[in-house]
Structure 1
Amino acid sequence: MAPLHPEITYAERSSASEPEKNIIYFTINAPDVQDKYNLDIKPTEISFRAKAGDASNGVPEKEYSFDLQLWGEIIPEETKKVVTSRAIVLVLRKKEAQAEYWPRLTKEKPNRNWVKTDFSKWVDEDEQEGTEDLSAGMEGMEGMGGMGGMGGMGGMPGMGGMGGGMEGMDFSKLMEQMGGMGAMGNMGGAGSGPNFGDDDEEDSGDEGEDKPAEDKPAEDKPKASLDDVE
């Protein structure tokens, strides 16, 4: 079976005066990716190879793959990342600080139905002032530094080196900031984003079933006094 293209969603921010605000929210919607995957981030290209699923647990196995030539340059070592059971979320730092957005994400004109705008995070250029920094919860992850220029990220089991900076992170709060992964539609149930707890309500029982009588408050008893003591 030929590898599948995972759905890619993205949104952009820009600033001519604040380089740290020149970023791209880049989400790889690939549920159930196995630990050993290849994510290679270069200044002008992102490549991804992964296997997903687990036949022993009844989850069909599949392969994901893509190569994207970016419109402009990014700084690989400034990349931030969060991995969930549903997706790999990246925050890419654009190399050039400018007020204008890129004309598009990729170098070549769009001809793919698997690269889409992430409308849950997108804002127009003239509406960026005062918007929330969705990458704030990813601080302390040490970005992608120490990876030797990022030329050899591939083949690193699950990016295990990122684990140390993720301790103590409030993932539920982080993913709420990241828009709840709302743009993960069309991924077979992934649209609601990662589930950090049991959200399903327990059945309250059949209608008509007798409900237990509510406890009545106990009647006030007379307080004891010293006169009652013999």
Structure 2
Amino acid sequence: MIFDYFTDSTHWQGEEGIPNRLLQHLGYTGLALVIALVIAVPLGLYVGHTGRGGVVLVGASNTIRALPTLGLITFLFLLFTESGPVTTIGLVVLAIPPILAGTYAGVQATDHGVVDAAEGVGMTGWQRLWQVEVPIALPLLLGGVRNAVLQLVATAAVAAYVGLGGLGRYLLDGLAILDYSEVVAGAILTALLAIVLDLVLAGVQRALVPRGVRLAAAAASGKKIAVGGAE
């Protein structure tokens, strides 16, 4: 049944075709990710670098994580009746916590000895941040971005519940007419999209993270495993 669905040429054409639904889903995900990055990365860098507001940041992040995205989007839609902005707000709220946490944790994890050495050679606070702390924080920062993308791809399906497109239409429309092939196809496409995007971001992470930082992280991970095994 699933094979027949994917091999039917009518499912690959027009507004309701798979390519168009994929592009719509990517559009919702990409827009929410960009807005979340603009908000979360500077905030995470500031709090991680200065050490101010860390407790408030963690508490607010945990509170935001507890918000149900579908419930938030439905509530906002009832207030404003504008599907596009409402969906974007809901997805941005979902994406901010993992990016914020990854950025903050990455900067905080920077060895204080390295920061002190940078300060000792005359680096300003701005230089220490961008030349020392950010490169070292990149693995955790980008890990937070990857986490956010996976959550966005999975959750962007809620756009269909407020009249928009995306892969969520296959789930909603398929359930409405009891066409389970369409439902399963939507689930498979969503999972495949998440896997592909994660692989792309893994490649980007490998390209952006300095080799020395990768080796240091691997060494630290190996040391923790060895200590855990010895215990």
Higher strand share: 1
Higher helix share: 2
Normalising by structure 2, report the TM-score: 0.23
Normalising by structure 1, report the TM-score: 0.23
